[in-house]
Amino acid sequence: MKSGTTWILLGLGALVLWSRRSSAASAPIPGGPVAEREGVMVTTSGSWRGTRADVEAGIRDAEADMPVDQARSVEVLARWGDLFGRFPRPLPPQLLALVVARESGGDPNAVSGDATLGEKGLMQLSNDEARACGVSDPFNPDLAVPGAQQLYRAAMRTYGEPDAESQLLTALLSRSIGLGDTRRLRAVVPAVVGMTFAQRLRMWLEDHAQGMPTTLAGRVTARQFARRVYRGILRAEQSVLLGWVSADADLRTA
């Protein structure tokens, strides 16, 4: 079991690597949409009402989120790293800390502002999610963390991606935009020989920045949708880039 000091050092190392990578980039990484829970969606007659400006703004939002979440994740790892280390798969502790930093800020008593979703606790489990993974008390981190990992693993097994980056991306999207929209998103991203799902999703988002011929539905704006999906792409990519998981690992069996 790692000490709080060790987790802090790991988090600081990840932050330095992310900063170097960001500063070396000559332009924003192409990519696409993500969804916050407030707002009003976005579909009519099978097409997305979002504009290129909406998608580009969402991409910039997601890129700006990363260093903020990295800094917060250092505190999250210092407090919760030992617990995350007891349940290290399928999401590695460093990635789990990024998710927690954004969703609850590391507060086990956090409650979502959207009462209809009922998201609560360290992992912000919704009422439906808590029932699905058998968590009787979402405010109890000892139950919520393994419960959330169970949800991520179930999403990976549902879609069966062969590479770790795509497995992580699918798992992250299953909670950030929901299982239904993850399924719809996957259905409209075309297959390309030799490309992983993570690579294909990035390309598809860029190609469809003017408007998406899809049946995606939910209570989100185009900019918010772009923010969440692209944030998932960045997080999955970072997990492999920084060696939190091996690129050829099969996390579905972890």
Specify if 82 maps to a domain: yes
Integer Cα distance of 214 and 93 in angstroms: 34
Instruction: Look at residue 140 and tell me if it is in a domain.
Output: no
pLDDT at site 116: 63
Torsion angle (degrees, nearest 10) of CA 204, 207, 208, 214: -40
Whole-number pLDDT of residue 114:
64
What confidence tier does 82 reach under pLDDT thresholds 50, 70, 90? Answer: very high
206 falls within a domain: yes
106 inside domain: no
Chain position carrying tokens 């009422």: 127
Query: 218, 38 in Cβ contact below 8 A?
Result: no
Domain that holds residue 64: 4-90+150-253
Question: Is residue 96 assigned to a domain?
Answer: no
- Tens-digit pLDDT profile for residues 28-62: 223 333 333 222 333 333 345 566 777 788 889 99
> Above 70 in pLDDT, residue 149?
yes
| Total domains, the chain | 1
